[in-house]
Structure 1
Amino acid sequence: MKLIFAGTPEFAASALQALIDAGHEIALVLTQPDRPAGRGMKLKASPVKALALAHQLPVSQPLTLKTTDAQAEIAAVGAELMVVAAYGLILPKVVLDMPTRGCLNIHASLLPRWRGAAPIHRAIEAGDAETGVTIMQMDVGLDTGDMLLTVREPIRADDTTASLHDRLATLGAQAMVDALAQLDQLTATPQPEQGVTYAEKIGKAEAQLDWTLPATVLDRKIRAFNPFPGASTLADGAPLKIWQAHVCDGHGEPGQILAHSAEGVRIATGEGALLATQLQAAGGKRLAVREFLAGHPLPARLG
């Protein structure tokens, strides 16, 4: 098929590669403008742009799709369909209607649960047993369109947003290829009205750990906020990030360090305890506890 592809991060790049490998004609790639990144804050192309250029595909990076110039560029392609994956810009109705077969979205949840910006983070944070990918016919709402194809994926006890993201990116890419291969046979199913939840964008303030919460809740937060923004606490007033931890036995005042060894740092919570196994001091690197304790003394209590 003659496609327009719209996407920005690694999740979307997996889908673009799969569509290229499947033999589709990618007539135009839409992606977000280059952003400053790294210590030097130099402009960096998105993963989708880097992949598109490597395949010599035409790339456009409009700030918005609401201008007549951006819309004229899309209309000129004459695409049969637009594939959208984590693009980051709103598609106005005029754009949604341009491809002859509309626009399909790869959404990293089992809709209607976790519509919105951060479905992978929120599924882990909420303690969901499973999630998945939905291929959806886009409309003007926020992830409200009819569902064409769903693939389910269990959430493992040790999953972080990073690990689950990578599996869902692969599943989503294959699901879109499968959907396009059988597009005429798929039935568009309206989303049920029951079970709607919204995955709000992750804010850095959320990453501050509240030690009065149960250990099971804190464990999910640590995994949900890995790799961004990283769950954090205070150690003698200085920021301390906790990248890996798991629930363990123990009780004490919330935030109290019950014990520490090469195995981990045992921290009391509002219910049970956490064993933190990978830490990062401000300005430092992520370190296994054995290495961290060699150069960073810990107070009697965190938070």
Structure 2
Amino acid sequence: MDNREEVREFLTSRRAKITPDRAGLPAGPRRRVPGLRRSEVAALADVSVEYYAKLERGNLAGVSPAVLETIARALQLDDAERAHLLHLARAADGSDALTRPRRRCAKGQWAPRRSLQWTLDAITAGPAFVRNGRMDLLAANQLARALYRDVYSSAQQPNLARFNFLDDASRRFYPDWDTFADTCVAILRTEAGRNPHDKDLHDLVGELSTRSEEFRTRWGAHNVRHHGTGVKRFHHTVVGELTLAFEGLEMAAEPGLTLTVYTAEPGSPSEEGLRLLASWVATREAGSPTQQAAT
């Protein structure tokens, strides 16, 4: 992915979202842009129009954190968008690779350490899994594999983005499909800013853009967000409706990977649903040929 194009499109899309009224500026007659003009952003950031135009053309290399902060304030960026702008700037001058080394996790080249898999397996009350920024599922406990059984049924590397946009089963599995779709694309956009030279990510985005108009439209919006905690709803074919809270934890030992754990509210129907799912998994395991041969 070309970092300059990413920078240009991100800044242009953020400028288009800020109306003169939101920025405290007079609208004036004959406005030909949906949001602010470049000159207005430059004035709000206290930089020259020529300098801001250079930035919006994608030239972020060497820009100081102070200038980036003034641009962020002028464009009224939220925390996730500010972080994304910083990642784009670091990627532009190569400092991101030096300050935050990220494991690439190319297809077929990463396997969880035994201790990591033991940790996942020790979590028995809720689904737990490890993913990368491309939304590949890299490791999981039994409950996560059962929850995402449709994702794991694919012959390809299990990938939440591909499932979301290319598998009709996702429409049933995610009652709030649009929210999941928005979040999925925002995560991929964030990863593209942090790791613009990831060929596997480039290939995935190309595949999804070609095959899904829903993805293509969302990708063009350049939205990013933090996705560390929240509540999600699922409809599982075996146990029905589940409402689960989640926590996403960045892994210090594996830069670029996230450990996600789902839990249900104690005493809720969803907690009982997870117990039923665990029981279903145990029954299937007990009836597998491998288990029968061992008894």
> Taking structure 2 as the reference length, what is the TM-score of the superposition?
0.24
Greater share of strand: 1
Q: Which has the higher helix share?
A: 2
Pick 1 or 2: higher relative contact order, CA cutoff 8 A, min separation 6: 2
Q: TM-score, normalised by structure 1?
A: 0.24
